[in-house]
Every structure is written in C-alpha cells, then in structure tokens.
Structure 1
C-alpha cells in the first residue's frame, strides 16, 4: 500500500473543511430565515391583537363575534408562513431551532387564544388547535392574561356591560394563574410569566373592587353608574402607573 503523500493528506483535510463549511453555512442560513419568519409572525400577531381590542370595544352586541372572526381570518397569514417553513423544521431540526421559532409561536398562540376567548369565553383547547409543544402553548396563554387585563379595564370605561365582563375576565385570569402554577417546575420562563400574570390579576381585581364599591355607594341607573365607574377606573389606572414606576425605580436602586 503506497504511503500517503502530504498533498493527499492536504486534499482530505480541505475536503473535510469544505463539508464542515457547507454544514455551518446551511445552519446559519436556516437560522436567519427562521428568525426573520418568527419576527414576521410576531408583528402580524401583534397587529391582530390590536385589531381584536379595537373591534371588541365597539359598542354593539356583535362586536366580540366580529372581532374574533376578523382576527382568525387575519391569522391565516401567519399559518401560511408556518406552512412555508415545514421543510425547514423536519425531524430534530424543530428542537434544534426551537429558540428561534418559539417567540413567534407564543405570539401567535396569544393572538389566536384571544380571538377564541372573545368568541367563546373559554380557554382555547390544546388538542384541537396546537400540534406544538406544551411549553409554547402555556407561555402563549400566559401572555394572553395581560391582553385580557387590558381588555377588561378598557371595557369598563368604553363598553356597555363592561362591568359584568370585567368580573368574568377576573375569574378567568384567576383560574388560569392557579391552573398554570403546577407547570412552573417543568416549563422554563413560566414562573416569570406567572409573576406578570399575578400583576395583571391584581389590576383587574382592583378594578372589580372599584365596581363593587361604587355600585354600593350609588343607587343610580346603569348608564350613569357606568360613567362613574369609568372615571374611577381612569384614576385607578393613573395610580397604578405611578406605583409601577415607583416600584421600578426602587428595583433599580436595589440593583445598583
């Protein structure tokens, strides 16, 4: 057997490095495509959430249903994006690139579950809609509680029946927080999001408390009572904003 020459060894080494370079370039290109797609999904989902808030707060009986239908229709653009990414995430690639895909998935789940809540008043079921990881499902639903807080408080000041809806949302968010707690040891980042959910729940509970107090103070027609509650909620929102800013300033001081 002839001895290997230096040139032969060099050719083998270059061939190996060419293979490594091709694999690394393929990885980086795929990673960039997935990051861009995830950002596109995030932006589209945020626009849908804004659309849901805007339509749902229109003062008529069909606003929730119309908002949900418009939202689901717009989210088909997101589904088309994911359909085009199927070949990028075959086999173990989904897990390899989950960090790049997960943010967009969570935002999409948040938007779709918000539309589902407006339509049905319930939590969107995992089995029927999401052939995805349970962690993305739970993290997306945790973000939903923040949107429900904004929906409830905004409805108090601008929507007939907002007081009753705020009470329903409060009970729903409270149940979500309690049910999700058991999964915090198993889902990274869920504990942090549970803390944010707790803050959202506190804001809704404070608003609901205001409703009860004002309702007991005044024996007035519902229309006038809605106006009084709206004024109280506006003052409450200002106080909450100031408390949050003071808390953040205090946290900054502690960190320094």
Structure 2
C-alpha cells in the first residue's frame, strides 16, 4: 500500500482518537456539572425547610439564594473548563454531551434567581453567567436547553410550595407559587411543538401543578370547616402536611452515585 494512503489513514485514526478523547472529557465534565447542580438544589430545599422563628419566609429564601450563589460559581468554573473542547463549530458537534449538564445548571440557577426576584431568569441573564475570566462568551446557549432547564424548575417549585405551605404565613407564598407554575405550564404548552422533548417535561409540570392545587384545595376546605385564628390554622396545616412533604432521596441517591 502506498505511503500516501497509509498517511491518510493515520490522520483519520488520529482524528477519531481526538474525537473520542474530547467526547469522554466533555461527558465527564457534564456529569460533574450535573452532580454539583443537584447538590445546590438539595442545599436550597434544605435551607428553605429549616424552621427559624426569628426570620420570615422571604429572609430564608434570600439566605438560601446567597448560599447557592457561592456554589454556582463552582459550577461555572466547571463549565468554563469545557471551553477548549468547544471552540467554534465543535460546540454543536458535542452539544448532546454537554446538554444534560447545562440543563441541570439552568435549573439550579433559575431556582436561585426565583428565590431572589420571584421571576424567571431570562436567556440573556443565563448567557451572561457563561463567560470566561476575560469576559468572553464560552459558547452560545441553545434556546432548547434554556427552555428545558426552566421546565425542570417547576418540579422544584412544587416541592418548595408543599414545604412552605406548612410554615407560618406560608400559605400566601404557596398560592403565589401555584399561580406561577400554572403560568409556566401555559407558556410551555405553546412552545412544546418547537422544542424537542418539552412535551414530555410539560407532562411532569402538569403533575407538579396538580400536587400544588390539591394541597391548596385541601387547605381551603379545612379553612371553611374550622373558624380558627391564623396561628391555630397554621398549626393545623403544619400537622396535616408534616408527614407528607416531598422527599429528597432522589437527590441524595444521585449525589451518592455521582
């Protein structure tokens, strides 16, 4: 076989080896991003669920968000480490490997943002967090990953609503969360034909919304049955839901496995 042909196949082999190595590095980095993002979400729920008579629900939310922001910088550093393997068009070649980690990061970031501002984080705001030390953009954030990350947020808001409803003064907050998740579901339904897999996640969003609505309905019925002072009603609601709060074992299992 001529040397020229052999050299061509050597070049092909090197390119395939480089591709496989790059792909494995990105998969590992994406898993690290996913694992740390899950830990941040678990941290937020744990801090939001901590009883503290001296602070309001709003103060707990801001305190949890502040702790989350510190951890999110670690995730951003992990994402920044992918930059060399995602130069130019390489990002779109390896986007399927990077996408799961990005979506989990957006979920953690959007949860933190909601606790701070009570609104959805925008695409531009997420993109601003994906910058290197010199301020340059790491890579363009696909709209699909952004939307799918927000779709996952609704499950965390459901857990937040169920845990906060049993706390003093938490029923008003849970009602706000119920309205917010309902609006998210309506918006996602319009986008579902344009974003792959969004219809699957929107089914989960519908289930989350139903759980919040069921909880609020049960409280409304109890309120109509008993004419009690606010403090006694809070105690009754806390007693009802203390044994039915959403568990976080899935997070702990994922973190342990990671």
Is TM-score (shorter-chain normalized) higher than 0.5?
yes
- Cα distance between partner residues in 2 of 1:176 and 1:223: 32
Deviations 1:96-131 (A, max 9, x none): 111100000000000010011111111112222225
Distance 1:99 1:190 in 2: 16
What residue number does 1:233 align with?
A: 241
Name the stretch that deviates more: 59-68 or 29-38. 59-68
Rounded Cα–Cα distance in structure 2 between residues aligned with 1:226 and 1:29: 57
Higher helix content, 1 or 2: 1
Look up the match of 2:201: 193
Query: Tell me, which stretches of 5 or more residues in structure 1 are unaligned?
Result: 1-8, 239-256
How far the C-alpha of 1:83 sits from its partner, in A, is 1.4
Q: State which of 175, 191, 202 in structure 2 corresponds to 1:167.
A: 175
Q: Which residue among 88, 104, 108 is the counterpart of 1:107? A: 104
Number of equivalenced pairs: 229
Stretch moving more, 148-157 or 29-38? 148-157
* Runs of 4+, deviation exceeding 3 Å: 231-238
1:154-186 Cα offsets, whole Å, 9 max, x none, are 1123x2222111101000000001011111111
| TM-score of the aligned structures, taking structure 1 as reference length | 0.85
Shift of 1:229: 1.7
Is the contact between residue 161 and residue 177 of structure 2 (CA under 8 Å) also seen in structure 1? yes
Q: By how many angstroms is 1:92 displaced?
A: 1.2
How far did residue 231 of structure 1 move?
3.3
Q: Are residue 124 (structure 1) and residue 121 (structure 2) matched?
A: yes
Residue 33 of structure 2 corresponds to residue 25 of structure 1: no
Q: Kindly name which structure, 1 or 2, has the bigger radius of gyration based on alpha carbons.
A: 1
- Taking the aligned partners of 1:112 and 1:235, their CA distance within structure 2 comes to 29
Secondary structure of the corresponding residue to residue 193 of structure 2: coil
Aligned alpha-carbon RMSD (Å)? 1.6
Aligned residue among 149, 154, 164 for 1:155: 164
Report the alpha carbon displacement of residue 215 of structure 1 after superposing the two structures with TM: 1.3
Do structure 1's residue 38 and structure 2's residue 30 form an aligned pair? yes
Q: Where does residue 86 of structure 1 map in the other structure?
A: 83
1:133, 1:28 → 2: CA distance?
Answer: 23
8 Å CA contact 2:106, 2:150 repeated in 1: yes
- Runs of 5+ in structure 2 lacking a partner? 128-139, 247-258
1:70 aligned residue: 67
TM-score by length of structure 2 reads 0.85
